[in-house]
Amino acid sequence: MALAPRLQKWFPWTRAPVICNGPMLGAATPALATEVTKAGGIGFLASAFNLDPGSPQLSKLDADLTESRRLLDQASPSPPSSSPLRIGISFITGHASIARFAETALPIIAKHRPAIVWLFAPAEAEAPAPSPRPHRAIIEALRKSAEESGGTVPRVFVQVGNVAAARAAVDDGADVLVCQGVDAGGHQFRRGAGVVSLVPEVRAMLDGEFAGRDVGVLAAGGIATDKAVAAMMALEAEGIVMGTKFTVARESEYPDHRKQLILETVDGGSSTLKSPFHDQMNKSTLWGPLYDGRAIVGPIHGKFLSGSSLEDCQRSLDKDYSPEEATRMLGTWAGTGVGLVQKAQPAGEIVRELREGAKEHLRKLAGLV
C-alpha cells in the first residue's frame, strides 16, 4: 500500500503529508487538537496516566472529549453517529493504575469513540513475551469492547525509540509506530536512536519480519520546519509528529513564560539536555528507568553539568531560588529543533504551512534528479 493513502484510508479527513501534534501534558488542549484535525492533520489531547477510579485525569479526559466533539461539530456538519470522533487520545502506561484500563478508561473510550489511542512508556517496553506487557492487554480490551458494541476499533499508535521497542509494539498489535528520535523534547527512551536512522531501520524491520502486517510509521523528534517534514517523507515516514512547534501555538495551554522561553531559545543542541535529571529534580516517580526527557537548561542544570551532585542541586533549588523561580527553571520540555521555532501561530496555520511548504520542497528536490 502506498504511504500516504494508508493514513488517509484510515483517517479520511487528513491530507498528506499528515501532521500530528504530540499529546503533550500541560500543552495540548481540545482547541489545539481540533484545530489540527480541521486543518487536515491528526489532533491529540493531552496524555493521561492515573487511571484509578475517580481520577481527575479521567474526568478531564471525558470533559476534553466532549469539548472536542462540540468544537468539531461547530466547524462542519456532524458526521454519522457511527463515525469515530476525529481526535486521538493518549495514555502513559507505566503508572501502576494502567492495570485498571478496562475498568476505568475503556468506558470513556466507548462513550466518545476517539479514532486513535496512543500508548507510551510501559515499564517493560522491550520485555519478550510472555512477560506482562500492558499494551497487549489494552489492545485486546479495545478490540473486545468494539466487537461487543458493534463499534469501530480505534487505531492504536505506540511511541517507540528503538527497533526492539518497535518490534514489541507490532507484536502487541500496534497499527502505527511513532518513531521518536532522541532530538525530541519531552520524555523518550534513554536508549534511543536519531530519527534519521530510526525510521529506515524500523521500516526494514517491518518489511523483513512483518511483511503481512499493515503497520504505519510516523516520524518524531527535532522536526520543526517544512524542510524537516519533507526529509522525513523521503525516509518513508507516512506522517510527522511535532511537539515543540505546537507548544507555542495560540491554542496551547503551555504557560506564557515557557512559550516565551521557547521562542527565545537557540542552538537546541546545547540549550537543551536529554537526561533523567529533570525528573529527579522534580522527584517524579512516573517515568521508569527506560526513559528520560529533554528540556531547556537553566542555572541549576549548569551546576549539575559542572559536576555538582543531584543532592547538591536539589538543596540549591530549595535554598537559593524562590518557589516561582524553581518552577520556571524546570520542566520547559523542548527538542533540539527549538531554535527553529521562532513565532507563535494558530495550530491550524502551523499544519497548513508545514504541509504546503513540505510539498514545495519535495517538488524542488524532484527537479534536481
Average pLDDT, the chain: 94
Average pLDDT, integer, range 44-53: 98
Percent of the chain exceeding pLDDT 90 equals 88
Using the predicted structure, report yes or no on whether residue 76 has a pLDDT greater than 70: no
Alpha-carbon gap, residue 107 to 228, rounded angstroms: 39
Q: Which grid coordinates belong to 169? A: 509494539
pLDDT at 151: 87
* pLDDT single digits (tens) 107-148: 999 999 999 999 999 987 555 544 568 999 999 999 999 999
Specify which of 56-60, 149-153, 280-284 reaches the highest per-range mean pLDDT. 56-60
Alpha-carbon gap, residue 113 to 72, rounded angstroms: 14
Q: Which grid coordinates belong to 92? A: 502513559
Using the predicted structure, report yes or no on whether residue 10 has a pLDDT greater than 50: yes
Is 243 strand, coil or helix? coil
Residue whose grid cell is 503551555: 254
pLDDT at 170: 98
* pLDDT single digits (tens) 280-301: 998 998 999 999 999 999 999 9
pLDDT at 130: 46
Single-letter amino acid, residue 79: P
Please, are residues 230 and 209 in contact by the beta-carbon 8 Å criterion? no
Please give the positions annotated as active site: 187
Q: Which grid coordinates belong to 282? A: 522534580
Q: How confident is the model at residue 2 (pLDDT cuts 50, 70, 90)?
A: very low
Single-letter amino acid, residue 181: G
pLDDT at 311: 96
Half-sphere CA count of 26, side-chain side, radius 13 A: 11
pLDDT at 74: 81
Is 361 strand, coil or helix? helix
Cα–Cα–Cα angle for 9, 10, 11, rounded to 5 degrees: 95
- Those residues with Cβ within 8 angstroms of residue 197's Cβ, 6 or more apart along the chain or in another chain: none
- Those residues with Cβ within 8 angstroms of residue 347's Cβ, 6 or more apart along the chain or in another chain: 21, 31, 32, 35, 36, 39, 43, 246, 249, 250, 251, 252
pLDDT at 89: 98
Residue whose grid cell is 504541509: 355
pLDDT at 191: 96
Alpha-carbon gap, residue 133 to 126, rounded angstroms: 9
Q: How confident is the model at residue 77 (pLDDT cuts 50, 70, 90)?
A: low
